[in-house]
Copies of this chain bind each other. A is one copy, B any other.
């Protein structure tokens, strides 16, 4: 996600994509059916709301809403959380970046081409 400015009170909708590694579907889904409470708490503290992940075969598509005012700082706080780091150590070997992912991103952020409230 690029460091786009967000103004207070505005919701930033973020769609992104990543692939699953071969054979990783069942383990990834098992982890995500019971995400650790510490991970969910940090997601909320980082001002992420209404966060869903959908799967199409080996592809994952995520949708979330960022409600804070400093996305870069909130993501830095998330990355610094030891429980998040431990969670990512579980998840990242199960994932493979999609072509076109920008340097510095793990999931590829996708442009929104339509929205209606």
Enumerate chain A interface residues (CB-CB to B < 8 A).
13, 15, 17, 28-29, 32-33, 35, 40, 43-44, 49-57, 60-61, 63, 98, 100, 108, 110-117
Say how many copies of this protein the assembly contains: 2
Name which residue of chain B comes closest to A15, CB basis.
B54
A53's partner among B98, B114, B117 (CB-CB below 8 A) is: B114
Chain B min CB distance to A4 (Å): 15
Q: Give Cα distance in the complex from A15 to B62, angstroms.
A: 9
Q: Give Cα distance in the complex from A44 to B44, angstroms.
A: 29
Q: Give Cα distance in the complex from A13 to B64, angstroms.
A: 12
Q: Are the CB atoms of B15 and A63 closer together than 8 Å?
A: yes
10 pairs, CB–CB < 8 Å, chain A vs chain B: A15-B54, A40-B116, A51-B116, A52-B114, A53-B115, A54-B61, A54-B111, A56-B108, A60-B113, A63-B63
